[in-house]
Every structure is written in C-alpha cells, then in structure tokens.
C-alpha cells in the first residue's frame, strides 16, 4: 500500500498529520510512506492535492470532498464528533488503512494502485475526459471528429491516443477500434443502470463504477441493479447530498479473479450489488477464487468516490 503526504512548505498541520500517521502505522509492514512538499499549483493538480496537508492512499484521497478543486490552500478536516482539526484522527487513519489493506481497493478497481485518471502526457487525459463527458451527457462515446479535435493540440492522432488508453486499461475498444467502455461507463448493456439527473440513462461496468458516476458528474442519480442470487432489485438514490439504499440491507461485493488482464475481464464480474450480506456470501461461496470482501454501503460509496470523483475535475494538461 502506498501512502503519500502532500504539504506546502512549513505547513504546521503537516507535522500533526505525520505524528498521527506514525501512530496509525505502528506495527504495519504493508505500507510504503513518502512525503512531498508542493509549492506550485500545477504540481498540486498533477498530484491530486486538495490543500495542505493531503493524504493519498494508493494514489487516492480518502478524505476528499467531491467537487473540491486541487490547490495549495490550508486544509481542515471535520472529525466524527463534528470538531474541525488540521489532520484526520489516528482512529480515522487506521480505519482507512485497514479498509485499503483488506479489500485491495485500487489493486482491483483502480489499475493496480495507479488510479483511473490518465496522465496528461500525449493528450491521454484530455481524450479520456472527452470520452467520459460524452458518456455523461449523451449516454454514448464521442464521434471520431470530436476526438480528433481534442487530440489535435497534442500533435497525436486520436486513434493512437485511444490505443494507448486501451493498452493502459483506461478504456476498451471493439473490433473496429470504437470505444466500447470507459470506466465507469459501458456502451453495451450491463446489469447496472444509472439514471443521471437531467441527463441520460447509462450503463456502468460494475457496482463500484455505478456508485462513482454521481460523484464524478457532481449530480443526483438513481442506480438500479440486481442481486445475482435472488434476482431481487437493488436501488441506490443520490439526491440532495444524501444516499438512500433499497433495501436498507444492501451491500456490494468487491473482488477479482486471479490474473493480470484488463479490469473488465478480471474484476467487473466480481463487483456486484446484493440485497443482503448473506446473499453476497452465498454467491461468493460459489466462485472459484474471487479474492475480495463484502463492503458495507459507506465503504462502497467511498471507494466509488475515491476512484472516479477526480476524473473530470483534474486539469487535462
């Protein structure tokens, strides 16, 4: 697990975070801790820094508020009891580290810990974001002409950018090199349907992808899916800053089968909604080796937000 501290020069709360991290990490051998001092806005955007201090776990900010822009400003954290502090508590840090260690969050859904946000080089991020915005606004990938116009300023043909994005598992192409899926969206039907408020109805690649769409889009949405054991419906409504799950007992299974293939092949079939923990465990028992865990609603929502929340807010350059 990669844990990074990002601070501006002489940040007093950076010392607070470091002290609490040392306590939270006591006895752990699965963590690689690094520190970076950031003093320019461009680097803050590149590193996904949301104020000082920022903590990244496997490349994601587990405490980020959706829609918050990257920057160098002083950052404050709200504790569980409502107090404001300069860094997360030791207990909150331990919980975050335990969740990431247990479920291997980014290992399965986030490209082996590298996250879902494409790098800015060679127009990769600009084209990725153009594809995602098209899905989010029209329900389909953009046409060739639109992609060429996005790639043109980078001096690279769109077809080459798409091929590199596919090779790096940011999206998948069909036999005609058309976009078939771009996490979290699918151009072909899946069991996970997302109705975006004031927007299209789209399919998502998996349960975690579905939960990431409203956060990435910054809008309300209704997710509908099906428990593969009982056939029962699962409905998740994002509205007015609240999330309501039906049934209230619904959970998400997060796992992956062994292999180094693209996420669509090794884990999308193992990231599913279930009406109860019991049906999730029943389904898991039928699988050869899914290698994952049952997530409660808060854990599943946080994972979706961590992976997909920054995709459209990050700078394309």
What pLDDT sits at residue 261?
Answer: 47
Does CATH number 3.10.20.30 belong to domain 193-308? Answer: no
CA-nearest of 157, 172, 184 to 304 is: 184
Task: Report residues of the chain scoring pLDDT below 70.
Answer: 29-30, 58, 66-67, 99-114, 256-269, 287-292
What pLDDT sits at residue 30?
Answer: 65
What pLDDT sits at residue 289?
Answer: 53
Instruction: Return the CATH fold of 2-103.
Output: Glutaredoxin (3.40.30)
Classify 169 in phi/psi space as left (phi over 0), alpha (psi -120 to 50) or beta. Answer: left
What pLDDT sits at residue 256?
Answer: 61
Whole-model pTM?
0.65
Instruction: Tell me phi and psi for residue 64, to 5 degrees.
Output: -65, 140
Q: In 58-199, at which residue ranges do the beta strands (DSSP E only) sit?
A: 71-74, 77-78, 84-85, 171-173, 179-182, 185-186, 193-196
Specify the 3-state DSSP secondary structure of 67. coil
Query: Domain coordinates of the chain in residue numbers?
Result: 2-103, 121-183, 193-308
CA-nearest of 269, 274, 268, 266 to 295 is: 274
What pLDDT sits at residue 110?
Answer: 57
What pLDDT sits at residue 264?
Answer: 53
CA angle 274, 114, 93 (to 5 degrees): 70
What pLDDT sits at residue 268?
Answer: 59
What pLDDT sits at residue 94?
Answer: 86
Residue with tokens 């854990």: 299
What pLDDT sits at residue 269?
Answer: 64
Q: How far is CA 152 from the centre of its chain?
A: 28
Which residues touch 125 (CB under 8 Å, ≥6 apart)? 117, 118, 119, 314, 316, 317
């Amino acid at each position: 697990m990669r844990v990074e501290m990002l601070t501006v020069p002489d940040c007093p709360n950076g010392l607070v975070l470091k002290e609490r991290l040392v306590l939270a990490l006591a006895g752990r051998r699965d963590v690689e801790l690094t520190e970076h001092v950031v003093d320019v806005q461009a680097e803050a955007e590149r590193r996904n820094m949301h104020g000082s201090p920022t903590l990244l776990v496997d490349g994601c900010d587990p405490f980020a508020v959706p829609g918050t822009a990257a920057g160098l400003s002083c950052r404050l954290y709200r504790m569980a009891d409502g107090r404001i502090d300069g860094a997360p508590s030791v207990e909150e840090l331990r919980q975050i580290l335990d969740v990431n260690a247990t479920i291997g969050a980014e290992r399965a859904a986030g490209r082996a810990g590298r996250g879902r946000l494409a790098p800015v080089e060679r127009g990769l991020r600009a084209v990725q974001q153009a594809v995602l915005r098209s899905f989010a606004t029209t329900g389909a990938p953009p046409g060739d002409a639109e992609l060429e116009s996005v790639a043109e300023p980078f001096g690279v043909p769109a077809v080459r950018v798409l091929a590199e994005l596919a090779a790096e598992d940011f999206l998948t192409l069909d036999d005609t090199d058309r976009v078939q899926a771009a996490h979290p969206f699918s151009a072909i039907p899946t069991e996970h349907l997302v109705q975006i408020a004031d927007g299209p109805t789209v399919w998502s690649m998996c349960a975690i992808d579905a939960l990431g769409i409203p956060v990435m889009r910054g809008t309300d949405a209704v997710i509908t899916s099906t428990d593969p054991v009982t056939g029962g419906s699962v409905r998740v409504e994002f509205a007015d800053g609240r999330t309501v799950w039906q049934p209230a007992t619904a959970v998400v299974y997060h796992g992956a089968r062994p292999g180094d293939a693209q996420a669509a092949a090794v884990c999308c079939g193992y990231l599913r909604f279930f009406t109860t923990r019991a049906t999730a465990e029943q389904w898991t028992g039928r699988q050869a080796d899914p290698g994952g865990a049952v997530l409660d609603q808060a854990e599943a929502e946080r994972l979706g937000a961590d992976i997909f929340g920054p995709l459209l807010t990050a700078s394309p350059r």
